[in-house]
Amino acid sequence: MGKLLSLIIGEEERPVQAIPLEHAVLCMNCETVFDMAERICPVCCSETFLNIGVALGDEETKSRIRRQAVTA
């Protein structure tokens, strides 16, 4: 399905980048969204980032993120 779609729209095939909201952080330096498991921004190596799940998630996501933060 994905292959067919890339052929139709003529895009190069590349791995899907999907980050669950509760793992998604926004680099405050270069404004790149990446997976918090990376620990540092893969683009600019900044360690200053904001968990966007706290801002955009529903209550259940927010409470999961808070629990992770407490146990970390």
Structure tokens belonging to residue 23: 């793992």
Q: How far is the CB of 45 from Zn ion (least distance, A)?
A: 7
Which residue number, 46 or 63, has a Cβ lying nearer to Zn ion? Answer: 46
Length of the chain: 72
Exposure string of 35-53, with b = 16+ CB inside 10 Å and e = fewer, is ebeeeebeeeeeeebebbb
Q: How far is the CB of 62 from Zn ion (least distance, A)?
A: 24
Q: How far is the CB of 66 from Zn ion (least distance, A)?
A: 24
The residues binding Zn ion (CB under 5 A) are: 27, 29-30, 32, 41, 43-44, 46
